[in-house]
Structure 1
Amino acid sequence: MHLFRLDASIRTAGSVSRALADTAENAWLAEHPGASVTRRDLGRDPLPSDLWAKGARAVVDPTAPPSPDTAALVERLASELVEADAFVFAVPLYNWGVPSHVKTWLDLLMLDKRFGSGGDQPITGRPAVLALSRGGGYGPGTPREGWDHASPYLRRILGDVFGLDLHVAEAELTLAEVTPAMAPLRGLAADLLKTGHEHAEAHGRRLATLTQAA
């Protein structure tokens, strides 16, 4: 069994998305002790943001200079996914959208013929957990309802485009403990975090069951 894990938080200590992903990963590993885990940590080691433009230019413009370094990286990124049986993606909401380093990773992946438009999407049907964290509240009736532009995008790409059997564990109001104006929300934040970990554990166990069945 082989798990792929992506982390995107720029924080190491205190990251909620990393903690949710830890819970899901540990639940999976409990059923697959000694299994291999491929880790790509975009928060600690982001991909150069100019690589996609170089690679895409080489695709659409026959006169553009080739970009062998980009092509080799795209192959490696795609192979990391193809070789995995299950997935954990840990992504925080930054500036109301997908972190730029996650968008770069996804854009590079879709330069690979297997994952781009018209590709055969080789990981279709494989199980995945998406661990999301949001510092504020974005649900119905909140002042910032509709400001979360990351969660819908990630569901579309990972679930609809890549075809993963995607399950989400999420936590909101994660900045309540360190934001005085959010002090009245700390009890709710704690409840949401607890629920997020419960879902992450349940989804991790589900990943383990599905990979055993496969």
Structure 2
Amino acid sequence: MNLFRLDASILPGASASAEIADIAQAEWTAAHPDGTVTRRRLGTDSLPADAWSLATVAGFTPETDRTAAQREALALASALAEEVQGADAAILAVPLYNYGISQHFKTWVDLVIAGAGPTTPLLKGTPTVLVTALGGGYGPGTPREGWDHSTPYLERVLDDIWGADLTVIKRELTLAETTPGMESLRELAQQQRSDALSAAREAGRRLAGR
């Protein structure tokens, strides 16, 4: 059994998304002590920024005319796609940055698509947990309702394109504890954290088939 785990936080030591993902992973590992875990830490071990353009152009270039850099980019794209497709279960921890996804995560998605093709259902039927953490509040009635341009994109890729059996765990207000002006939201933020950690335990058990 193989678990694919991806983290996109640039601050792994203080990452709300990683905290939630760790709990889900622990449940999977407890059920599969001999299983393997394939890790991608995009926020701290980012992929080459030019790899996607190189791989994409290479796809339209005869093999004999490809440069060494293009061949290397294509090999990386194929390897990333194989990591996803080879998973029996998957956990992706992807925080919201500047109202969207980070450049690190977008580069990864683009490379996986370059390696597998734009419509290949890499996670078809695979139990998958998406963990996302947002510093503020973006729900109905909030001042920034509709500003979360990350979660819909993530669901589109993982569910609609890659066919994952998807569970989404979303924690908001992660900055309430340290941000002036958000003091009144701290109790709600703590409840959001508690709910997310509980959801992670349940989702981890489902990943493990328990």
Q: Normalising to structure 2: TM-score of the pair?
A: 0.94
Q: Distance in 2 between matches of 1:118 and 1:176?
A: 39
Q: Distance in 1 between matches of 2:42 and 2:93?
A: 10
Alignment-mate amino acid for residue 198 of structure 2: E
Is 1:81 paired with 2:72? no
Is 1:182 paired with 2:179? no
Q: Distance in 2 between matches of 1:151 and 1:132?
A: 7
Q: Distance in 1 between matches of 2:38 and 2:62?
A: 35
Measured after TM superposition, the shift of residue 32 of structure 1 is: 1.2
1:73-104 per-position Cα deviation (integer Å, ceiling 9, x unaligned): 01110111122100000000000001110000
Over the residues paired in the alignment, what is the CA RMSD in angstroms? 1.5
Among the aligned pairs, what percent are the same residue? Answer: 49
Q: Distance in 2 between matches of 1:141 and 1:48?
A: 40
Alignment-mate amino acid for residue 162 of structure 2: F
Q: Could you tell me which of 97, 103, 106 is aligned with 2:109?
A: 106
1:94-129 per-position Cα deviation (integer Å, ceiling 9, x unaligned): 0000111000000000012xx32343x243011000
Q: Normalising to structure 1: TM-score of the pair?
A: 0.92
1:6-34 per-position Cα deviation (integer Å, ceiling 9, x unaligned): 00000021110000100110111121123
- Partner of residue 194, structure 2: 194
SS of alignment partner, residue 12 of structure 2: coil
How is 1:54-203 mapped onto 2 (pairs within 5 angstroms)? Answer: 54-60=54-60, 65-66=66-67, 67-112=70-115, 115-119=116-120, 121-203=121-203
Aligned residue pair count: 207
Conservation of the 8 A alpha-carbon contact between 2:5 and 2:92: yes
Q: Distance in 1 between matches of 2:151 and 2:119?
A: 24
Q: Name which of structure 1's ranges 199-208 and 58-67 shifts more when overlaid on structure 2.
A: 58-67
1:42-76 per-position Cα deviation (integer Å, ceiling 9, x unaligned): 01100111111111122245697441110110111
Q: Distance in 2 between matches of 1:82 and 1:97?
A: 25
